[in-house]
Chains A and B, each alone.
Chain A
Amino acid sequence: MRLVVVSAGLSVPSSTRLLADRLAAVAAPAATAPEPGPADVRVIELRDLAVEIAHTFTNGFPGRALSEAFEAVSGADGLIVVTPVFSASYSGLFKSFFDALSVTDPDALAGKPVLIAATGGTARHSLVLDHALRPLFSYLRAVVVPTGVYAASEDWGAEGLDGRIERAGRELATLMAGLSGTRPLPRRDSFEEVTPFEERLAALRPAG
């Protein structure tokens, strides 16, 4: 079982990464329970890939490190995605990563459980989860975990965040375990399954 964490935090240390790690710490063992070993966790820090992400748009193809990150995402059984809130939405870097991913592989997230989470300076932006992240991942045909987790600065010193992390992590784990046997058919590889040319011609022939 493979769990991939995508963190768009920019500072080191980052509260975005902190939230991502807390979520993974719940989801990874729960996804494989009752097996003793937790799911393999791979963390992708978008800050490290920022230049390659930008170059994907200027060059038309992803660089090596980014390609490798895309492969990890495509091959994951579940994702935890965490972004800081910038200007009332996900960060541009966060969106750009998924834009570049979907240009490279439009079905990368199809049928994949995704736990959405965000961090911000105040609680006033908490609906970013449902107004920005949830539609984005619905569009990408992910199975979005019902509970999303928003952590404002004040939440790190208040009661309640740990409970939401626990609930969201377990929901992700349940979906990962439940969906791992029913993964949608792997993406049709257009290089390996070519539509025979006669079929294309026939489809254009006038009826009768």
Chain B
Amino acid sequence: MQFGIFSVGDVTPDPTTGRTPTERERIKAMVAIALKAEEVGLDVFATGEHHNPPFVPSSPTTMLGYIAARTERLVLSTSTTLITTNDPVKIAEDFAMLQHLADGRVDLMMGRGNTGPVYPWFGQDIRQGINLAVENYALLHRLWREDVVDWEGKFRTPLQGFTATPRPLDGVPPFVWHGSIRSPEIAEQAAYYGDGFFHNNIFWPADHTKRMVELYRARYAHYGHGTPEQAIVGLGGQVFMRKNSQDAVREFRPYFDVAPVYGHGPSLEEFTEQTPLTVGSPQQVIEKTLSFRDYAGDYQRQLFLMDHAGLPLKTVLEQLDLLGEEVVPVLRKEFARNRPAGVPDAPTHSSLLAARKREGARA
């Protein structure tokens, strides 16, 4: 099982000091956080993609390429890549380029964006959101698998005899996750292709996550990719820890109370009760995270949101120390316990390459 972090890349004033980091500081902080993730033994760093303030990460492969050059093991991913408004040709090329530079330590998560105006800003129609995700991904899928593509669709200019370059590393496309919070259509899409499905459950009650994941698992089996238990599932998480849980609550509350997403709304206690947010000791984080398996089944990737709401870099790095030293080693052991033999790990470049060679040998 993979453990990692995902960043929204928000530039938010620290409510305890009133200080807002500059864009440069925030971008460099995201890099420092990614490097720390590798240092403390995490497996994945994923960045969001946004095209509106107060978010900085508009250009994920630029950032991930830089991180790739400064890391050895970390898998670089996105949370998410906008399949609706980016040109699928450019996604195919950007991520293939990143694959080569990062020696295959790359996957990506498809998403539809966080704000309506991103569609018109990129010349698209929000009412076509699902259709754009369907058509663009169908083209992306082909561009990574067919050397020469002739293609015609509804939303993009046709292609005649087009070859996306560079070709994917070793002829193996990056593994794709499809992220969706609300749309069963996207779970269906992930299942159709046998791709991964990531449910960013961090703001949602468990029963909603359960329904989305169950749908994806059932349809994954329907399309003949394996049993429902073999489907590739990822979940979000959101934690703030101190050794003493009262210290965690005291320190995090001012950030929670005015956080851009849920601030000025429910109390910290109500929100932690109803969603995966955990504010407390490492042991409480371990217990809450293990409980995700009760409703999502044995899964492959757990990403935590750690750097948001104006938390200073120093605090985030301390959080990552706790996550890497006290939480993830226990989670690895506990999730491995009683894990049925047929449940696969999250695909990586090397596992996909090995599978391809096996298939080649059979053929």
Contact between B152 and A55, CB atoms less than 8 A apart: no
Contact between B265 and A58, CB atoms less than 8 A apart: yes
List the A side residues contacting B138 at CB < 8 Å. 201, 204
Interface residues on A, range: 20 to 34
CA distance A54 to B138 in the complex (A): 40
Q: Total A-B residue pairs with C-beta atoms closer than 8 Å?
A: 64
Stretch from A8-16, A151-159, A177-185, A189-197 that touches the partner: A189-197
List the B side residues contacting A206 at CB < 8 Å. 152-154
Chain B 256-289: CB-based contact to A (< 8 A → 1; otherwise 0): 0000001111100011001000000000000000
Contact between A61 and B134, CB atoms less than 8 A apart: no
Contact between A197 and B189, CB atoms less than 8 A apart: yes
CA distance A198 to B138 in the complex (A): 11
Contact between A63 and B274, CB atoms less than 8 A apart: yes
Cβ distance B115 to chain A, nearest Cβ, rounded Å: 15
Cβ distance B211 to chain A, nearest Cβ, rounded Å: 5
List the A side residues contacting B265 at CB < 8 Å. 54-55, 57-59
Cβ distance A133 to chain B, nearest Cβ, rounded Å: 28
Interface residues on B, range: 20 to 34
Cβ distance A189 to chain B, nearest Cβ, rounded Å: 9
Contact between A191 and B153, CB atoms less than 8 A apart: no
Name A residues whose Cβ lies closer than 8 Å to a Cβ of B. 54-55, 57-61, 63, 190-191, 194-198, 200-201, 203-206
Stretch from B200-208, B321-329, B332-340 that touches the partner: B200-208
Cβ distance B221 to chain A, nearest Cβ, rounded Å: 13
CA distance A194 to B212 in the complex (A): 12
Known A-B contacts A204-B154, A206-B153; the reply to A61 vs B188 at CB < 8 A is no
Cβ distance A53 to chain B, nearest Cβ, rounded Å: 12
Select one of B154, B215, B219, B266 contacting A55, CB under 8 A. Answer: B266
CA distance A58 to B270 in the complex (A): 13
Known A-B contacts A194-B188, A195-B185; the reply to A58 vs B266 at CB < 8 A is yes
List the B side residues contacting A196 at CB < 8 Å. 188
Interface core residue of B131, B204, B262, B265 (most chain A CB under 10 Å): B265
